[in-house]
Amino acid sequence: MSEKNNFSVSEKEILEQKEFTEKVFALNQEFFDKNGYQRLAYIKSYGCQGNVADGEKLKGMAANMGFGFTDTADNADFVLYNTCAVRENAEDRIYGNVGALKHYKRRNPDMIIGLCGCMMQQPHIVEKLKKSFPYVDMIFGTHVLHKMPEIVYEAYTSGKRVFETPQSKGVIVEDLPVRRDGKIKAWVPIMYGCNNFCTYCIVPYVRGRERSRKSEDIINEIKALIKDGYKEITLLGQNVNSYGKGLEEEINFSKLLRRINDLDGDFRIRFMTSHPKDASKELIDTIAECRKVCKHIHLPVQSGSDRILKLMNRHYTRADYLKLISYAKEKIPEASFTTDIIVGFPNETREDFEATLSLIKQVEYDSMFSFIYSKRVGTKAAEMVDTTSDEDKGRWFRELLEVQKEIGINRYNRYVGKTVKVLVDGEGKSGKEYLTGRTDNFIIVDFIGDKSLIGSFVNVKITKALNWALLGEII
Ligand code: 5AD
Ligand code: SF4
């Protein structure tokens, strides 16, 4: 393992967790000897890819503790929900799903139930969960994910409920076991946390300060993935463009991309998410010049109105954003763009919303993730008086989807007749013999082909554009 930085946890703490892993393993072995079957874990992650990547570590730790796996909660002996706090509907799903566990636990009193992830970093939510769901055995926050072995051991042996949700600037723990969900595409966090404090966003409060992994640790992880046959590596961070700040080495995100691009092997590189305030010309040039870096730029704009951008604390203007996009279009003519939009920020007016509509028409995104603003306790925006009606917000949201649908169809139609390179992911939705995959530009392509192609790159000639995907034929 490489030298320490100040977010690293101590060697001692890591050793302690290894001991707890062995202790839980012994408990699970004892259970197996007595009952003749292995305890099964159901670990489900909600929210962003960063949370999914955390979930793969939780699964890695659970596997080392001697759990098998199941993909439903009803036959699990250990249920763990790795939660998301970004919007209210993500939280509501958790309340619903935890409620449903009550009768499973009545049927199987040996079952342990745990909750972790972003929701657990909010004291008012933890209080509510503790009270409403007395059958939840353990609750732990994002900063103690690596202590799961100890927490599970306590849950099994102490006879008490375990709560561990410290506030912290955050940690970096290298070398946790990972049990990846797939064999073709892999998630690699390059940094954790966020320092931006966009006024609507809960992330800085639940994920701690921005901190980067050392490039050596990232490169070693990616080399191992390539050796294992992974074909797509997605680099993760809340704001990958500020990668490297605070590290002792001389590095930034563009340099990291170039180093990964130089690794041997047939694979491609994606990344998310870029913050427009830090996305530089250097980054665009790097994407243009690195053959393995996908020509797809996800650049969340959130709003097209300067007034709203300012209230959101985004640190760029509409003009700055459009300038960057036009530089990218000039440098990488084949590039595709996607974005995130929030509709209904406090006091958004029709005029503000129209500025967003005109921006999306100007950029011509391939696709977009759009959300109605959701008030998050503890954020600055939650304190703003909001006079915009829910009715207006809902209407504008639907209008936005309609406008984007039209733009997306036009974009997709441009591919008809062209040949694109697709990484085959699995079986397609368009029919029985169909396979599916994504282009470099992040567009879904369905085509007829043999299942043996799953996991390889193929060239597909596009014959038709649907509004969610392209159809084509292998050539
Ligand atoms: N309400 C609605 N959408 C939000 N997002 C983040 N916070 C909120 C919120 N409070 C959206 C942003 C971000 C994406 C991941 O989620 O668009 O880019
Ligand atoms: Fe959800 Fe944000 Fe946490 Fe990701 S970091 S799981 S989006 S709250």
Query: Tens digit of pLDDT for each residue in 101-128?
Result: 999 999 999 999 999 999 999 999 999 9
Three-state secondary structure call for residue 120: helix
CA distance 212 to 303: 28
Main-chain phi, psi angles of 369, to 5 degrees: -105, 120
Residue 438 has pLDDT above 80, yes or no: yes
Residue 3 has pLDDT above 70, yes or no: no
**pLDDT score for 2:** 41
CA distance 258 to 292: 9
Taking residues 149-171, report their average pLDDT: 97
CA distance 403 to 399: 6
Q: Determine contact, residues 444/425, Cβ cutoff 8 Å.
A: no
Q: How far is CA 470 from CA 123, 141, 319, 415, 436, in A?
A: 45, 41, 32, 8, 10
* Mean model confidence pLDDT for the chain: 96
Q: Determine contact, residues 101/73, Cβ cutoff 8 Å.
A: yes
**pLDDT score for 5:** 53
Residues flanking ligand 2, CB < 6 Å: 47-48, 50-51, 84-86, 118, 202-203, 206-207
**pLDDT score for 349:** 98
Task: Kindly give the distance from the C-alpha atom of residue 384 to the centroid of ligand 1, in angstroms, as a whole number.
Answer: 16
CB atoms within 10 A of CB 456: 13
Taking residues 122-138, report their average pLDDT: 98
More confident call, 94 vs 5:
94
- Both tokens of 202, joined, read 């809960």
- Mutation pick for ligand 2 pocket among 45, 48, 240, 298 (CB with most ligand atoms within 8 Å): 48
Residue 1 has pLDDT above 60, yes or no: no
Give the strand pairing for 138-140 and 112-117: parallel
% pLDDT > 70, the chain: 99
Residue 350 has pLDDT above 90, yes or no: yes
- Give residue-wise pLDDT tens across range 281-338: 999 999 999 999 999 999 999 999 999 999 999 999 999 999 999 999 999 999 999 9
Residue 4 has pLDDT above 50, yes or no: no
Taking residues 37-48, report their average pLDDT: 98
The candidate with the shortest Cα–Cα distance to 70, out of 103, 93, 50, 41, is: 41
- Mutation pick for ligand 1 pocket among 118, 200, 203, 339 (CB with most ligand atoms within 8 Å): 200
Task: Kindly give the distance from the C-alpha atom of residue 382 to the centroid of ligand 1, in angstroms, as a whole number.
Answer: 13
Task: Kindly give the distance from the C-alpha atom of residue 202 to the centroid of ligand 1, in angstroms, as a whole number.
Answer: 9
Q: Is the Cβ atom of 58 under 6 angstroms away from ligand 1?
A: no
Residue 348 has pLDDT above 80, yes or no: yes
CA distance 311 to 332: 32
| Atom 7 (ligand 2) nearest CA | 48
% pLDDT > 90, the chain: 97
| Atom 17 (ligand 1) nearest CA | 340
Q: Is the Cβ atom of 200 under 6 angstroms away from ligand 1?
A: yes
CA distance 42 to 77: 8
Please give the angle made by the CA atoms of 244, 250 and 251, to the nearest 5 degrees: 40
**pLDDT score for 432:** 86
Task: Kindly give the distance from the C-alpha atom of residue 86 to the centroid of ligand 1, in angstroms, as a whole number.
Answer: 6
Task: Kindly give the distance from the C-alpha atom of residue 379 to the centroid of ligand 1, in angstroms, as a whole number.
Answer: 12
Indicate the residue type of 118.
C
Cβ within 8 Å of residue 98, ≥6 positions away = 81, 113, 115, 129, 133, 136
